[in-house]
Chain A
Amino acid sequence: MTKTSTLRAAPGYAFLGIWTLFSLFPLYFMVVGSTNTSQDVLGSRLIPGGAFFENLAKLFKAQDVGSALFSSFFIAVGTTVLALIVCSIAGYGFEVYHSKGKDRVMAVILLAMMIPFAATMIPLFQVFAKLGLVNSLWAVIIPAISTPLLILLFRQSSRAFPSEILEAARMDGLNELSIFARIYVPTMRATFAAAGVITFMTAWNNFLWPRVILIKNEVQTMPMLISNLSAGYVTDYGVLMLAVLIASLPAMVVFLVLQRAFADGIVGAIK
């Protein structure tokens, strides 16, 4: 019995194994590449080498990595904090104080999900240019604060919020904003984690809009920096792999730390 069930499971494990190999190989290639010289990266050396610090020195000499990291962190953290506040209170407000009129507004908000960013990019650039916000990190943050997906996520999870608690809190004399901040927020940790991971990763990895609105090299983000590294005539592949690694790490760490809560939050939203 156990033998046949193991046998039956074999193709499944084989498929998972092959896909995992495919998933992890480019990441392994990136990590190992960051410790090798350009020649060794192209020469397909797949074991760690001793060029890590040399690559690091070259990278910091060629590019202002510190300021790019600052820009990326400022944008990612700023967007995440503001998006969590604005979208959670909206999703909660919609669900807890539900009315017909709000249904209509929600329908319009969801419609915005179908508007491709491409179709708003040029006018957004014109408006931010008029406001004098070209090269300002706020110009990257502002359009990313309120997103239909996040509002939807918070609306869905607000459905599970028991109305008895609400009544009891009102009896105790708490005002509506305190009920939200002191009771709702702490109970919805998983949703906040999921929304936070999604927003941070999206903001950290954003490329097109920052490319459009951040023109000066001093304010460029990490993705812009690595993209520029590969645009030159001679690319140092060891340095490139190191830069790519640095640009990828923060979003990956955020995901790995919060992945349990992230998965729970998504499941909660889809139910």
Chain B
Amino acid sequence: MDRRLNLTGWAFLAPAAVLIVLVNFVPMIQAFILSLQSGRGTNLNFADPLWYNYQRLFGDEIFKQTLVNTFIYLIIQVPIMLILAMILANLLNNPNLKAKAFWRTAIFLPAAVSLVSYSLVFRTIFATDGFMNDFLALFSVPPVNWLGEPETARFVLILGLLWRWTGYNMIFFLAGLQNVDRSTLEAARIDGANAFQTFWRVTVPQLKPIILLTAILSTNGTLQLFDESWNLTKGGPAYASMSMSHYLYEVSFQRNPNFGYGAALSYVILILVAILAFIQLRVGDKRD
């Protein structure tokens, strides 16, 4: 290519690339250095041993609890959400469906609501003297202390995540379905496959790239869960529903800020994101 045009291309790309390096890669490296330091506030020195903060994490019961919580959300919520999103997208993709625009808007709308807003609405609905208990009372179910018990608090948080993100993921599947070859669906029908078989054996395999994309994005999002933990359950009762990022915030910016320890904790999140993405990419490749 023309040298002048090549340089123009670089000039167009440069601002974005420089910004990404400055706000992502540089801080990422700084965080690693920080994770090897200890001390309070700005008075930081290299720790002895260097991996002291990481060592400390393994003995931190609260950290372990938040790690377990995050994995509970990940393992239960992400698969359910992606399956629901795929089913909804498949239903919406039916050419004979009536009022398509209405269904699509209604199902996507939660994704336009801020995480803090919906967390507070769910918190109100699931208050001890709130709507959900009044509703259950109609069926003579005794009131449940939704946000006061570990299991129910996690349940409400998972329900909230499903509410907020299923429609969002559905949009990706809906876009992916545009690329599914209609003739393959026809062929399956002629061969006598029922709707479920067609969906599972013909449609789903063709959606694989989208499944991979949404799985990685959702895993990434769940590992960084903060707003819901902070606003919906406040991490409670005690630390029973707190996410890792919520604990990271507490360690780094509340009471006695400890940047070194916080940075170590943030690196655990970074490493988990990397490992899980790697596994998902591997599994995604294998099925070919």
Contact = CB atoms under 8 A, between A and B. Distances in A.
B106 A20 contact: yes
A127 B166 CA distance: 36
A119 B175 contact: no
B11 to A, nearest CB: 7
Choose among B1, B24, B231 the residue with the greatest number of A CB atoms under 10 Å from its CB: B24
Secondary structure class of chain A's binding surface, majority of residues: helix
Given A119-B28, A122-B266, A259-B105, A248 B179 contact: no
Interface in B12-66: 12-13, 15-17, 19-20, 23-28, 30-31, 34
Interface residues of A, number: 89
A176 interface: yes
Interface in A130-154: 142-143, 145-146, 148, 151
Nearest to A90: B16
A183 interface: no
Nearest to A204: B114
A120 B19 CA distance: 14
Contact of B223 (A9, A116, A127, A223): A116
Nearest to A208: B226
Contacts of A42: 124, 127, 129-131
Nearest to A85: B15
Contact of A207 (B94, B116, B244): B116
Contacts of B31: 119-120, 122-123
B191 to A, nearest CB: 18
Contacts of B73: none
A116 B9 contact: no
Interface in B237-262: 244-245, 248-249, 252-253, 259, 262
A227 B226 CA distance: 13
A121 B252 contact: yes
A16 B267 CA distance: 41
B207 to A, nearest CB: 11
Interface stretch (A53-61, A95-103, A185-193): A95-103
A142 B1 contact: no
A255 B104 CA distance: 13
B30 A208 contact: no
Given A251-B112, A259-B105, A118 B245 contact: yes
Contact of A122 (B23, B92, B110, B262): B262
B273 A114 contact: yes
A177 B263 CA distance: 42
B106 A24 contact: yes
A26 B269 contact: no
Name which of A99, A122, A270, A271 has the most chain B CB atoms within 10 A of its CB. A122
A151 B114 contact: no
Interface in A239-253: 240-241, 244, 247-248, 251-252
A256 interface: yes
A114 B5 contact: no
A251 to B, nearest CB: 5
Interface in B85-135: 87-88, 91-92, 94, 96-97, 103-118, 120-125, 127, 129-131, 134-135
Contacts of B117: 30, 205, 223, 226, 244, 247-248
Nearest to B209: A270
B88 A19 contact: yes
A109 B111 CA distance: 26
B220 interface: yes
Given A29-B131, A99-B9, A270 B16 contact: no
A94 B103 CA distance: 37
B103 A119 contact: no
Contacts of A201: 112
B224 A97 contact: no
A69 interface: no
B124 A208 contact: no
B140 interface: no
A117 interface: yes
Contacts of B19: 86, 142, 145-146
A217 interface: no
Given A112-B25, A122-B31, A205-B116, A151 B16 contact: yes
Contact of A96 (B9, B97, B249, B277): B9
11 contacts: A19-B107, A26-B118, A44-B134, A122-B262, A122-B263, A127-B27, A146-B17, A208-B249, A223-B116, A255-B108, A255-B112
Given A237-B124, A240-B124, A247-B116, 20 more contacts: A9-B97, A20-B106, A26-B110, A33-B124, A44-B134, A93-B10, A97-B5, A97-B8, A99-B1, A99-B6, A109-B17, A120-B27, A122-B263, A146-B17, A148-B20, A207-B230, A208-B249, A248-B112, A255-B108, A270-B210
